[in-house]
Amino acid sequence: MNIETSINKTRMDFRTVVMAYLEVTKPRSVVLLVFTALATMVVASAMYGPVAMSQLITATAAVTLACAGANAVSCYIDRDLDASMTRTQKRPIPDGRINPPVRALYWGLLLFVSSLFLGWRVNPVAFACLWGGMIGYVGIYSLWLKRRSSWNIILGGFSGGLPALFGWTAVTGKVDLLPLLIAALVVLWIPNHIWSLAIFYKEDYARVKVPMLPVVCEARKALHCLISTVILMVACSLLIYFAGSWGTIYLATAIITGLAAIGLSTYVYLRPARQNAWLLFKFSSPYLFLLFLGMMLDTWL
């Protein structure tokens, strides 16, 4: 092996390691959650007055590191499940790209501790939101409920709304009704997002004995719960309109995306095929993105 070949191999190995540690943080999930925080920062800044750019950058870095760290720790906790499920077998830990697995735990804790340092520099309320997110996602969901109860998504999902609440508190230093409703919207979005995925991968979840609702009850009952949470989610998005000082952009976005969500979930309810559940799952993330984008555009324009 000549020197040039050795250098190229070293570069490829380094890139593989970097990508593995990035992948274990679930970057797609991080991007969406951080976007909800950015949206509430924009809305809060418009209502309470602008804040220093340095504070916004610090807050954005804090919530990004917190979400990434919580995901990495969760991947370490779920490493045995991931190794047995078709959907997750190629993740860095079961695939052997992070070995020994405890390195993912150290990586996640490093990211989260860094987020706490930055969060404390923002303000104590924002700092508390970061802690709440870690306790809710890792403690309540991953360690306690995920393998024990079909309520895992309902109770464990509260952590999903905390990035949006964090964004508001990072600007204002306090909690108000509007950001609580926005956080509740994300919490109500999570069951639709996860249960539609669990319907598609029902055999996977059943094999590892994770009691997701579509696994432990008949399909009709699971779909009834799913469409109920979608209706509550859309209702919450409209309640947000009446609780804030919004224009037509947010209202139009909430109505159009809400009708699409209800229509698609109704279609899945009437025709409960795996592929239809997959379509609902693929729609769920763009729904949340468009709704928070509508908040930002309404605020700016």
pLDDT string in tens for the chain (301-residue length): 566 555 555 565 788 999 999 999 999 999 999 999 999 999 999 999 988 999 999 999 999 999 999 999 999 999 999 999 999 999 999 999 999 999 999 999 999 999 999 999 999 999 999 999 999 999 999 999 999 999 999 988 999 999 999 999 999 999 999 999 999 999 999 999 999 999 999 999 999 999 999 999 988 899 999 999 999 999 999 999 999 999 999 999 999 999 999 999 999 999 999 999 999 999 999 999 999 999 999 999 8
Exposure of 214 in the CB half-sphere (CA atoms within 13 A): 24
C-beta separation of 65 from 33 below 8 A = no
C-beta separation of 119 from 130 below 8 A = yes
d(CA 262, CA 284): 11
What dihedral do alpha carbons 187, 193, 196, 201 form, nearest 10°?
-110
Query: Which structure tokens are listed for 127?
Result: 């700092």
